[in-house]
Chains A and B, each alone.
Chain A
Amino acid sequence: MTAAPLPRRSSLPAAWWGMSILIASEGMLFGCLIATYFYLRFKNPAWPPDGIPAPRLVVPLVLTACLATTSAPMQLALAAVRAGRVATARLFLVAALVVQCGYFAYEVHDFHDQLGKVDITRDAYSSIYYTLLGADHGHVFLGILFNLWLLGKLARGLTRYRANATLAITWYWHFVNVLTIVVVGTLLSARA
């Protein structure tokens, strides 16, 4: 006595919506950080204050561009998962992960380096500079953890749960890449 299957329409899974909620919340968080950056800037006569060098231009831009390109392998990994090709998906994920880890390693080193020259406790400029940059690095790190976890999951084959996870994590990485561009752009605006 089983009835005929009910008509269905495909739509994005709850997992995608859950990640969108995280993105909305984190986007708002960064919105507040960036608003603070400009609020403090317009309260200060000199920005960056005298004695602090303007942020470097070329290295951050090149690195950000490298990070942004990882959106492509992430999207390809998602496409592979949708087509059921787990091995290909893992390969793309590893490719993205290599660039992301390289970016993160350099940035952590550089962050440490800069702190040695100008401390976070110097003034309002250094406070927001390191807080904003550090928060962005934290989100890159979280993305790396997501990807490592996803690789571990995909090593044992494909389920709908894992496919949804790939969708959500890819979406997260697109967000982090855009976020990094906006954050770096904000910080570089001190040169203008």
Chain B
Amino acid sequence: MRALRWILPSLALAGALAAGCMLVSGQFLVSYELPSPIAAAPTAVTAIGVDLNTVAAYRDHRDDLQDLADLALLGTFTNTGTAPVDVDLWMTPSLTAHTDAAAVGMDDTALRVWGPLRLAPGETKRIGWDASAALFRKGRAALLEQVRGDGVFTLYALGATGSYAFRVEGGAFVAVITAGK
């Protein structure tokens, strides 16, 4: 009788183990701090080279990486110009060194992955984790490809209009990866 009391959970656990990978999996936080401050204007953009291999959590789980559970770009954004600006984040899937917004726009590999974050003239906005995650929805697939690939890519913070100036301070790219053997 006593042994039978253990049959149900034991068999359930055995079933789960037989199913393979799912028990040996988890969600891991990967954060990459961006240079600070980053100033952006149409004729002067900053190429932000990202190498996730420098992050221990990514290195530890890169071979078992399955998906991205969450993405966010965090930091404090300030519109230093005189017109409203919609800030977008663009990505090229390899390391590039464009120095102006036009060059990024002409790069066939460049994709808009985050945004827009609207800032009024002179406005400073510290974007929260939840709000930022919502702005990543369209770029998730493109970033997943990079995260599952070599983990090296370039980000550009650009304005959506022809004339703008803004600054990003304390920026960080944050991803929650799911990994399972």
Whether A and B are associated in the same complex: the answer reads no
